[in-house]
Amino acid sequence: MGFNGDVVVYRSPHALADLDASVGTSGHPVFGEWTGNDGWRVVHVSHDDDPGEYDREWLTDIAEATGHPVLVCNVFESDVARLRGVAGALFVDGWLDPDAATHSLAGCWFQKLADEVNEDPYYVGGDFGSEQFYDTLAAEVRGALDRARPDVVEAVVAWARAAGYDVATEDVDQHLQRKREPYVEDLFFELLQLIGLMP
């Protein structure tokens, strides 16, 4: 079993549990906390009873409560990670390790289509169940991720600026194309270092 849950990045003298009473409960245990630069905090919250991710509204509430931008990395089994954040009207929404994200998103899409037609997704035969069909889905997903990456890069750079840090667009672009080695959460912590938020 890998690393699961949300890694929440926020700036406040208060513990995250003081900002959201559900944090630290049996349904949302805190598994780790780190101290960043300049008063930033990094908290790993799992969701044992409620596997739902923190949504944009939750991020906005925390940002308003602290007066600072908020960033969250949703991690599943150390394999796949979604990056989301808010800074005023800015919303960051992207993925780390595009190869892993492609595989996961295409697999979810494939399963959803299989459920809709009541087919076994591993059935090999016909157009739907073929490996070629999955490859087509994966190619569409990867194309969408690649087209979205410039906007995600700019959003991350803008988020960093709002948080008080300057980071080069090219560095963020290269980082968002990296593969996990072996854990995807490491890419997130390295992104925080790249921004300057973590020592």
Return the SS3 of 39: helix
pLDDT of the residue at 15: 92
- Beta carbons within 8 Å of 83's beta carbon, 6+ residues apart: 71, 72, 73, 92, 93, 94, 95, 96, 152, 156, 188, 191
Q: Which residue has the tokens 């003081």?
A: 18
pLDDT of the residue at 46: 83
Put residue 26 in one of left, alpha, beta given phi > 0 → left and psi -120 to 50 → alpha.
Answer: alpha
Please state whether the predicted TM-score (pTM) of the whole model is above 0.75: yes
pLDDT of the residue at 125: 45
The backbone torsions φ and ψ at residue 13, rounded to the nearest 5 degrees and listed phi first, read -75, -10
pLDDT of the residue at 93: 95
Contact present, 44 and 31 (Cβ < 8 Å): yes
pLDDT in tens, the chain (199 residues): 567 889 999 999 999 999 988 888 877 888 889 999 999 999 998 876 555 567 888 899 999 999 999 999 999 888 899 999 999 999 999 999 999 998 888 876 666 665 555 555 554 444 555 567 778 888 888 989 999 999 999 999 999 999 999 999 999 999 999 999 899 999 999 999 999 999 8
